[in-house]
Chain A
Amino acid sequence: MTLVEFFSEPLNYQYVQRALIAAMLIGLISGILGCFVVVRGMSFFGDALAHSIVPGVAAAFVFTGPGAALGFLAGIDEDLRLFAGGLVAGILSAIVVGVLTRDDRLKEDTAIGVVFVTMFALGIAIISSDPRVYGSREFTHILFGDILAISRSDLITTALCGVVVIGIIGLLYKELLLVSFDRDLAQTLRLPAEGLRMLLLVLMAVTIVASLQIIGVTLTLAMLVTPAATARLLTHRFQTMLPISMLAGASAGCLGIFLSYHLDLATGPTIVLTSTALFLGAFAWAQWWQRVTTV
């Protein structure tokens, strides 16, 4: 197989095309938002948030199908229902943690520990209440991602999420950077520091839900952290970090899809491992560069 065939052959299939676009979009969104996650030290939050959307997705699956408790919602596209369920649960958890840590009585990681474990437990409880869900293809996709799972509507919601996340970060860049670096200054200048922090948490929830179908709950954190960490190794400036991270995320996404196709592996792990490879490359380069410049 030539290199050209490596890339051209999978493109004959529409589902690969869709997965490629979705993976690239997710790489871009996670890449840009991940920069904030990395410099603010919010990885634990990201991991927890990913798990906390499970009850939302589960509830949407169990309670809104045909003949279920909220059966009147069954008319809506299933992917959209799961997406909305996850988003609601994620945003709710983010807000609850934000509120619990507003004063200093509880440390953030403690509040996160309490809230998100509760949410995850609730998710498992909902799943176990319905034997249908265990065997469902849809559900394993949400946990681990699947190249076949990307529908047209998934693509549209992912693209919309991308526009929202990248658009908001673009418009509020200087405020978000300021509140991440020095919250006290934001408060001194009477900028809504608390509101901006909440906004970041909500954007994280949106990003995680968007990357559900292709990466899966268990691995979304990797896409939020690894590309940004790769970029951090290569620059000392936040504004340079953003495009590098987006590029790293998008490349990992696309390359991961091709590898996933050829090696017949689940997309989530393949994309994440590709991303890790990029990170290791950047790490080696940074080490070498440091040695070259310091001698």
Chain B
Amino acid sequence: MSKTAHKGHAAEPFLRISKRDEGMSGWKAWGIRIIGLILALVVSAIVIYAIVNLNPLKVYVSMWQGAFGTSKRTWVTLRDIMTLLCIACALAPAFAMRFWNVGAEGQVLVGGIATAACMIYFNNMPTLLLFLVMILASIAAGAVWGLIPGFFKARWNTNETLFTLMMNYIAIQLTAFFVATWENPKGSNSVGVINRQTKTGWLPNLFSEGYNTDFGWNVIIVLIIATLVFIYLRETKHGYEISVVGDSENTARYAGIRVKQVYIRTMALSGAIAGLAGFLAVSGASHTISTQTAGGRGFTAIIVAWLSRMNTYVMLIFSALIIFLDKGATEIASSFGLNEYVSQIISGIILFFVLGSEFFVNYRVKLRGAKTGGASK
């Protein structure tokens, strides 16, 4: 029966991992994250040098310039961060309710379709009224797209993950249909830039005349949404209901919360915000609609929302990181003539370390032989 036994003290496991019960102090957690980032840069520097024989510092500078090199680039980066953040904000209420809405992609698309439709059919409307109609239409379209799975869940307890996922494909087909309808010029199989001459329905610059040189409105609209969602989830009765339903449906019923109503209402809200992100993507960025308008951001936003634990301000940080890596990777691919896989490797390494540091923030790892209580990393 006796197993490995030396000096009366049997072998301890090599690694022991336990959850940090009391959490970590803020500065310590940020310290770990910064160490993670530095490690990421060091490791990718080695990789860059080993694979493509380039000066890693130059590569990093180039990445930075890809994202923030010129004022125009900075604004585009900011704009994309905001769109991603907006979608993540849309997911937050649903996720806080433990409702796995993976349908943001479709909700963004229908919001975009509604916006494009307004731009095409109402191009004679007074500007302010047109914007009001576009915003309301995109919100309504997204809300309907979210409400449908919410209603089915409440009424027949359908699986929301499958349902919202399939709604994405319907939205994509719907977009393809409208692209064919609005095709311009004929035979291009695309809608082209809508109102290229008149710029009707284009979200204008905030800080200067013209279009497409600053995206101040995008930033302001999304920051307002992020703040509202933050307050909604933490300080309102609806937010409380969402948390209770997310924790236990039975507790919610016990507390007199109308669970079905909460499902439907919250999913409509989630879809509505995603629909608004569709408005930003069409009126505030591309000025066209295609099946690529959401471009996978509905899924990327899941990562952002989940990592941030539904805290909209933390979402800002993760959105920024992901968009920055994306822009930087594109830039180094073009400026060094690299295969784009190399830049993806670098993005991958950085994400790996940054996400990996969350593990050390949440868990304590003890090596064999270490004294208890000490080791933190």
Are A and B physically bound partners?
no
